[in-house]
Structure 1
């Protein structure tokens, strides 16, 4: 979508000239409805967003293409236009280092007393936090948070939208990704 070039009227208020009447966006609880008017012809589309409900148990980089275009199972492919967004944010190094220190001290104290004998996983967890603490201190590692979002575009009718939603949910679910659709929060994802 690119704006059309047009001449502004110097004798008219600017707020009346900035409004483009060929475009409208309606916010619904589960989707956005996009309306366009080009040369007197109206068209509408539905915009739906999906993001991860929780982190997957296990994920492989080479399986990521199967999430949206599975060649062996074409029914597990997304058959509409979509945008896949992966946002990575590097956390503050000093803050994460101090959090790792606190976590390591707590777990190390538990691992070196009778608690560690009853729960042997604490010893391993303390060792992992100690290694992370050292990597953070030396600058070898950083803690990164992420956000995965899929924005899908389809015809604005319930039947097509349901098919699109099921295609997206099923194709990602096959590889262990559980997606959900936000309610009244899709503008931040769009």
Structure 2
């Protein structure tokens, strides 16, 4: 069986648990599901299941809390792994989502690192807009990744824009961030 068939079988098992047995499927099944995703189609099934689980948790179990941030990070990693970035943004960055995911900056870093890997400045800008819109707390590690992307793409405008945002947010920049900023400034003259 291909991995996609394996994902479909886990999806079907989980759906049977929710619909027929009216019980929450074991957490291990969800983690297994995430680990086995190998295509955008698998990720679509995953998000469909997350939405069904969210509804089941709310209606049958009266659990109003989102899934934990560790799950969100794994979902984001799976999205990045298969190139399903639109879904990754939903997992990592949308505070109000129908999937019960809890976005955090650790998940966001997976998207930023993917942007760096591809040298995709547009993805960086999109991610940073969503970080701001969803009021996620940025960290010193965020600055390292962002500055690295800006420097690699020769985008001084973005380096200064995000540098100001980091400093005004009260983030204590790491020495590596300062070094990158100063090297880039020296290069620019």
- TM beyond 0.5: no
Where relative contact order (Cα < 8 A, 6+ residues apart) is larger, the structure is 1
Shorter chain as denominator, the TM-score bin is: under 0.3
Larger radius of gyration: 1
State the TM-score, normalizing by the size of structure 2: 0.21
**Higher helix proportion (structure 1 or 2):** 2
**Higher strand proportion (structure 1 or 2):** 1
